[in-house]
Amino acid sequence: MNALSLLALVAGAAIATQATMNAKLGVLLDNSLMATSIAFLVSSVLTVSVLLLTTRSYPQMAALKIVPSYLWISGGLLSAFAVAMFYFLIPKMGVGSMMSYALSGQIIIAVIASHFGWFELPIKPINNLKIMGALALISGVILLNWEPKSGY
């Protein structure tokens, strides 16, 4: 495993951990949207602080003008929706079930996005091996969430 793979693994673990903790915050506050807002507020303060401390140059106005309008808001909208759903669903489904379904959604969209090179990212065509991997993932999600009826 290389350093980037290890970093990606740690990032995934961080997502599962923070989602669990913030879901509990939402339960204690009896409001998953409040927990989402708190998480984004803390994230915003931290990222803006690091940005201000580490960035030596900022984009020129011409560069800002060529960014399509949907890119300014779509990431934030999707993040807010996803995070709010995590905090809402984890107390109802459990963190393992929620994360397994969420990971499946991420992998399926990532494979499709890579196949078509969405947003000018590297193209990684779908092949039989990737299809088998996606089917194995879906099978794993089914097994992780299987709750046999009593008596078996």
What pLDDT tens digit does each residue of the chain (152 aa) get?
Answer: 899 999 988 998 999 999 999 999 999 999 999 999 999 999 999 999 999 999 999 999 999 999 999 999 999 999 999 999 999 999 999 998 999 999 889 988 999 999 999 999 999 999 999 999 999 988 998 898 888 877 65
In the prediction, which pLDDT does 148 show? 83
Structure tokens at 17: 């951990």
What is the per-residue pLDDT for 84? 93
* Token couple for 125: 């065509």
Confidence (pLDDT) at 150:
72
Q: How far is 93 from 96, CA to CA, in rounded Å?
A: 8
Structure tokens at 102: 């969420």
Res 151: pLDDT: 61
End-to-end CA distance of the chain: 40
Helix axis angle, 32-54 relative to 3-29, nearest 10°?
A: 140
